[in-house]
Amino acid sequence: MALQLKEYTSVTEVAGPLMIVEGVEGAGYGELVDIRLSSDEKRRGQVLEIDGPRAVIQVFEGTKGIDTARTRVRFTGDPIKLPVAREMLGRIFDGTGQPIDKRPEILPDAFRDIHGAPMNPTAREFPREFIQTGISTIDGMNTLVRGQKLPIFSGSGLTHNELAAQIARQAKVLGEGEEFSVVFAAMGITFEEASFFMKDFERTGALEKVTAFLNLANDPAIERIITPRLALTTAEYFAFELGMHVLVILTDMTNYCEALREIAAARSEVPGRRGYPGYMYTDLSTLYERAGRMKDKPGTITQMPILSMPDDDITHPIPDLTGYITEGQFVLSRDLHRRGIYPPVDVLPSLSRLMKGGIGGERTRDDHANVSDQLYSAYAEGRDLRNLVAIVGEEALTDRDKRFLEFSDRFEKEFVTQDRDEDRSIERTLEIGWRLLSILPERDLKRIGADYIKKYHPAYKEGAKEASDKE
Amino acid sequence: MVKGSISKIAGPVITADGMKGSQMYEVVRVGDERLIGEIIELEENRAVIQVYEETVGMKPGGVVEGSGAALSVELGPGLLRMIYDGIQRPLEKIKEQTGDFIERGVDVPSLSRTEKWSFTPVVKKGDKVESGDILGEVPETEVIRHKVMVPPGVSGEVLSVAKSGDYTIEEMIVTLKTESGKTEISMLQKWPVRIGRPYKEKLDPTVPLLSGQRIFDTFFPLAKGGTAAIPGPFGAGKTVSQHQLAKWADADVIVYVGCGERGNEMTEVLEEFPNLEDPKTGKPLMERTVLIANTSNMPVAARDASIYTGATIAEYYRDMGYNVALMADSTSRWAEAMREISGRLEEMPGEEGYPAYLASRLAEFYERAGRVTALGSDGREGSLTMIGAVSPPGGDFSEPVTQNTLRITKVFWALDASLADRRHFPSINWLRSYSLYMDAVEPWWSDEISSMWRELRDKSMALLQKESELKEIVQLVGEDALPDRERLVLEAARMIREDFLQQNAFHEIDTYCSPKKQFEMLNLMIEFYNRADDAVSRNIPAKDITDLATIGEIARLKFVPEDEFEAKIVEIKKALNEEIRSLVDKYVER
Ligand SMILES: Nc1ncnc2c1ncn2[C@@H]1O[C@H](COP(=O)(O)OP(=O)(O)OP(=O)(O)O)[C@@H](O)[C@H]1O
Ligand SMILES: [Mg+2]
């Protein structure tokens, strides 16, 4: 190790979040750079490219105030590392990993490269453990399992924060006492939004199980590139070295992607779709793939990124590339929200790809997959009919159609809608599902096996009538 | 060997000086960790190199050493049941060395040097052999007999041959007297990945590649040696379709390339395949499978390599005379890797930033598919079928990767988000999809299943087409306003869609449907339609027909096991007869 690091004062160019240093010797690609401004302020950067003696550096805290005359630069010879320790639980850091909770510095147990390394697919174990979130649209129709990466696709002004906080509060694996530890990373969200989460954690006494990294709206944008990596590095340490079950909430990924775009633009790279860099898919995957479960380790990382879809457009590159990497998505709908429905989860475009392994007889209930499929197809049909009614009027509908229409209305009111602290068991969710399905003619329940109809359909259950009347 | 030094590092692409004497596509070792790279541009002294591993920490001045050889794969017994990374390093071995996370700089051979294989010669001293001739056989797995072949470009007279027995892949098993002297042959061969392996002649595909998936086999068939594309937005079902093909396609060998996709999807295959039985052989599916995994977060340059590695291994088994199927999920990630590297080279970007050579690279890749007469004097045939998933941004098929792929592939399975949203799986749009192998595979269906196959299929398509026209009318006036005969068309089309086309990959029985069962199911549905149409023309109300109990029975046929469905169909036909007769009695005066 070189003990004496050479200091350069040869900054020749500053452009956007980038700065160029000339005459550099022995600096490595990707390494951490310490920068000292003429005001003596300290900043950090990372080498993005080296061409002979010329190094391109991205400056995390922004380049404001950096001058070409007196700025001093040192190449540390190391990739960016985060000091990690168990005592990070219950602590709050800024977007670069400095404590901001007025408590002492962390005494590190280890230092970890924030970029992590890809998990070997042969070391992974396919996630199958059902997480009950107490939310019907999730547990019943888009089941989350431990070790999954499942984002919330939202829009500005929708209730994604409430939903995420509710999930964090209620998530549990049935039959296990152990709760999730939460690693929370904020990228460019407002102070109010961040404090909503922190207060919610505090209110439920969960704060000592939370580690937060906060880059807020008024913090430097480029910092957002490292904030989620700090969070995931911490999560990996907790999960795979300390054996914890970690839930990582990353919000708002849209701000992260904007920062990525800003760097690409500053480097005058050939842009990909809608101005976002062509490597955004790869870049996002180096975050999202840091979730999972391993054969030889007890802990797990479950990821719940939140992103706001610009213009509510799911084909926008940010939700699009995310959906191509994550294992499904919860999509929030402005239409449901306007109609006062919470949580406004639109089940049709929502998906949990790992659902099939996490449900069924031993995990939830034997009829779960069938009920979910049937709810999907019935609701889709009801929604189509709603559009039809808008054109031809309800009179043109057949009797059967009318029942599907009633089904989808009540589905939104009774199945989708629930209180912000309503924690429904999976049995309760399936029971509501059956109650709604019984609106439909039995012969239309094609997705459900005959034996399950006998076993669970309210019409075949004794005393079922009274029970549903009470509701 | 050439030795140069690093001058520039930009992500996965580095530039090195002092490289005069190197060749295009030569493999080089970069830096102190001797990371593997490949030369992708050469100009005088200067080489541009794509590095197959993470380049963080590399410095200008670092050593770059040529190898004299192009990027190659190792071929020989031991490929099957393996999972490799994009440059054919066994992931299990990497795990032994670096643990649960993949660190860089691991150097492990692709095939074991110590494992012994039981070799039985089929040639003897004095035999004259040519390229591709089989020298001996090795039972590689329970289902595949590995053929040890004379390498391309080699021929001569057998001077000596090893006795039956156990050998490692490096031990010499045959010595040939060739024009230039003597050539010793072991079970290990190497082949440069970017060059297709030679064959004698390409033949037209004639036999379907059956997958037990109804919409594929009956509606849009693929042929052995053919090419297919599955484009679709995220979550529409590309991977599930590819997994279904890998599981149930009646190929001898499967090469599955996970290119830039999820780690868990590879894990899923690794967990599932050893426990799934091949319907053809009754043996675990893993026995015929090779996996190549370059997950999305692995180095991007190796994504490009993974496609070629897969194709070369697949061709090798094709050359032995096997029917091989290769799935690539997703070719869009490969194209994006090309775009990223091209961007770093500051090449002139084409459409949407993709390099101008995107189309030709795709064409070259799919051109490696085909039914062929392999090298060798026995005239054996083999085939390589290729199925590529495409992930168009925003699900928009007009983008360059989808368009350039469709220009080459002969089968188009168009996935549709609106079908996936309502859980119609496989969510393949029956009106947009097509197969150009209909005529080619018709004789097979006609000989093996029924001469009515084509007619049945075309009639079903016509009903679906008619349905979509009627639906437009229904949108304006409601279904009640349609005449009875047209309401029956809607009912029949609904039956085909829901009870035939929909197929649940995760249902124990429905996951695989034999061609015979496919035919009988559809036959029954069309028979139902014909009977019903006839009844309606005799003034029986459509309403009464759509209420028939047999409709429910037909819907459940897909869940009836293979050994019971024929009896079930007889039963249903009988019930249908009776139901229709009682309607006739009710409405039609004699
Ligand atoms: N044939 C099928 N039967 C049952 N479910 C299916 C079928 N095909 C797809 N699905 C469902 O759709 C989900 C998404 O499918 P899949 O993972 O194959 O999508 P994809 O097109 O590969 O998406 P991406 O591009 O993001 O990888 C699956 O997890 C499964 O729930
Ligand atoms: Mg996929």
- pLDDT 10s digits, B414-442: 999 999 998 999 999 999 999 999 999 99
Probe ligand 1: pick from B213, B240, B498, max atoms within 8 Å of CB? Answer: B240
Residues 6+ positions from B260 with CB-CB distance below 8 Å? A281, A282, A285, B294, B295, B296, B300, B303, B330, B332, B333, B334, B336, B337
Q: What local confidence, expressed as pLDDT, does residue A4 receive?
A: 62
Boundary of a domain, candidates B141, B160, B188: B188
B505 Cα nearest atom in ligand 1: 3
- pLDDT 10s digits, A344-359: 999 999 999 999 999 9
Residue of chain A with shortest Cα separation from B342: A270
CA-wise closest residue to B271 among A120, A122, A363: A122
Our answer on whether the CB atom of B357 is closer than 6 Å to any ligand 1 atom is no
Q: What local confidence, expressed as pLDDT, does residue B589 receive?
A: 67
Q: What local confidence, expressed as pLDDT, does residue A443 receive?
A: 85
**pLDDT > 90 in chain A, percent:** 76
Round to whole Å and give the CA distance between A45 and B22: 36
Q: Which ligand is closest in space to the CA of residue B415?
A: 1
CA-wise closest residue to B441 among B286, B243, B234, B223: B223
Taking contacts as CB-CB distances below 8 angstroms, the residues of chain B near A441 are none
User: Do B60 and B140 fall within a single domain?
Assistant: no
Confidence of residue A469 (pLDDT cuts 50, 70, 90): very low
Query: How far is ligand 2, taken at its centre, from the CA of residue A184, in Å?
Result: 28
B236 Cα nearest atom in ligand 1: 21
Round to whole Å and give the CA distance between A389 and B329: 41
- Which residue ranges in chain B fall short of pLDDT 50? none
Q: What local confidence, expressed as pLDDT, does residue B124 receive?
A: 95
Our answer on whether the CB atom of B331 is closer than 6 Å to any ligand 1 atom is no
B242 Cα nearest atom in ligand 1: 18
Inspect the interface and report whether the beta carbons of A49 and B263 lie closer than 8 Å.
no
B521 lies in some domain: yes
Name the CA radius of gyration of chain A, rounded.
25
User: Do B365 and B385 fall within a single domain?
Assistant: yes
Q: What local confidence, expressed as pLDDT, does residue A470 receive?
A: 43
Asked if A330 and A136 touch (Cβ cutoff 8 Å), the reply is no
B446 lies in some domain: no
Min distance B371 CA to chain A CA atoms (Å): 33
Domains and CATH numbers, chain A: 7-79 (2.40.30.20), 82-358 (3.40.50.12240), 368-470 (no CATH)
Inspect the interface and report whether the beta carbons of B296 and A116 lie closer than 8 Å.
no
Across-strand partners of A14? A19
CATH of the domain at B163: 2.40.50.100
Q: What local confidence, expressed as pLDDT, does residue A462 receive?
A: 61
Question: How many CB atoms neighbour CB A339 within 10 A?
Answer: 12
Confidence of residue A292 (pLDDT cuts 50, 70, 90): very high
**A119 interfaces chain B, CB cutoff of 8 Å:** yes
User: Do B277 and B350 fall within a single domain?
Assistant: yes
User: Do B64 and B88 fall within a single domain?
Assistant: no
CA-wise closest residue to A417 among A434, A431, A435, A429: A429
Residue nearest to atom 11 of ligand 1 (CA): B237
B103 lies in some domain: no
Our answer on whether the CB atom of B426 is closer than 6 Å to any ligand 1 atom is yes
User: Do B378 and B357 fall within a single domain?
Assistant: yes
Query: How far is ligand 1, taken at its centre, from the CA of residue B493, in Å?
Result: 24
CATH of the domain at B523: 1.10.1140.10
Q: Chain B neighbours among A 311-350 (CB < 8 Å)?
A: 315-317, 320-321, 323-325, 327-329, 348-349
Boundary of a domain, candidates B137, B168, B188: B188
Q: What local confidence, expressed as pLDDT, does residue A2 receive?
A: 42
| Of B59, B296, B333, Cβ closest to residue A28 | B59
User: Do B246 and B295 fall within a single domain?
Assistant: yes
Q: What is the mean pLDDT of residues A225-236?
A: 96
User: Do B128 and B245 fall within a single domain?
Assistant: no
Q: What is the mean pLDDT of residues A425-453?
A: 93
Q: Chain B neighbours among A 357-386 (CB < 8 Å)?
A: 369, 373, 376-377, 380-381
Those residues whose beta carbon sits under 5 angstroms from the ion ligand 2 are B 238-239
Q: What local confidence, expressed as pLDDT, does residue A394 receive?
A: 82
Min distance A190 CA to chain B CA atoms (Å): 29
Probe ligand 1: pick from A128, A141, A322, A353, max atoms within 8 Å of CB? Answer: A353
User: Do B148 and B273 fall within a single domain?
Assistant: no
Query: How far is ligand 2, taken at its centre, from the CA of residue B395, in Å?
Result: 13
Q: Are strands A181-189 and A210-216 parallel, antiparallel or unpaired?
A: parallel
Our answer on whether the CB atom of B276 is closer than 6 Å to any ligand 1 atom is no
CATH of the domain at B65: 2.40.30.20
Our answer on whether the CB atom of B504 is closer than 6 Å to any ligand 1 atom is yes
Question: Is residue A240 scored above 80 in pLDDT?
Answer: yes
Question: Is residue A467 scored above 80 in pLDDT?
Answer: no
Boundary of a domain, candidates B188, B209, B231: B188
B369 lies in some domain: yes
Taking contacts as CB-CB distances below 8 angstroms, the residues of chain B near A446 are 498, 552, 555
Round to whole Å and give the CA distance between B343 and B387: 28
Query: How far is ligand 2, taken at its centre, from the CA of residue A396, in Å?
Result: 41
Taking contacts as CB-CB distances below 8 angstroms, the residues of chain A near B558 are none
| Of A117, A270, A446, Cβ closest to residue B102 | A117
CA-wise closest residue to A225 among A266, A271, A191: A266
B266 lies in some domain: yes
Question: Is residue A174 scored above 90 in pLDDT?
Answer: no
Our answer on whether the CB atom of B453 is closer than 6 Å to any ligand 1 atom is no
Q: What local confidence, expressed as pLDDT, does residue B516 receive?
A: 96
Our answer on whether the CB atom of B333 is closer than 6 Å to any ligand 1 atom is no
B323 lies in some domain: yes
User: Do B525 and B579 fall within a single domain?
Assistant: yes
Min distance A55 CA to chain B CA atoms (Å): 10
Is the reported ipTM for this assembly greater than 0.90?
A: yes
Question: Is residue A464 scored above 70 in pLDDT?
Answer: no
b/e map B144-170, b = 16+ CB within 10 Å: bebbbbbbeebbbebeebbeeeebbbe
Round to whole Å and give the CA distance between A431 and A439: 13
On average, the pLDDT of chain A sits at: 91
- pLDDT 10s digits, A45-69: 999 999 999 999 999 888 888 888 8
Query: How far is ligand 1, taken at its centre, from the CA of residue A357, in Å?
Result: 13
User: Do B431 and B469 fall within a single domain?
Assistant: no
User: Do B434 and B461 fall within a single domain?
Assistant: no
A323 Cα nearest atom in ligand 1: 26
DSSP H or E segment with residue B173: strand B172-178
B160 lies in some domain: yes
CATH of the domain at B348: 3.40.50.300
Residues 6+ positions from A412 with CB-CB distance below 8 Å? A336, A339, A341
- DSSP label of B288: G
- Domain containing residue B220: 79-95+199-438
User: Do B357 and B263 fall within a single domain?
Assistant: yes
B541 lies in some domain: yes
**A196 interfaces chain B, CB cutoff of 8 Å:** no
Round to whole Å and give the CA distance between B270 and B256: 11
Our answer on whether the CB atom of B237 is closer than 6 Å to any ligand 1 atom is yes
Task: Work out how many domains chain B is built from and give that number.
Answer: 4
Q: What local confidence, expressed as pLDDT, does residue B590 receive?
A: 55
User: How many beta-carbon pairs under 8 angstroms link A with B?
Assistant: 209
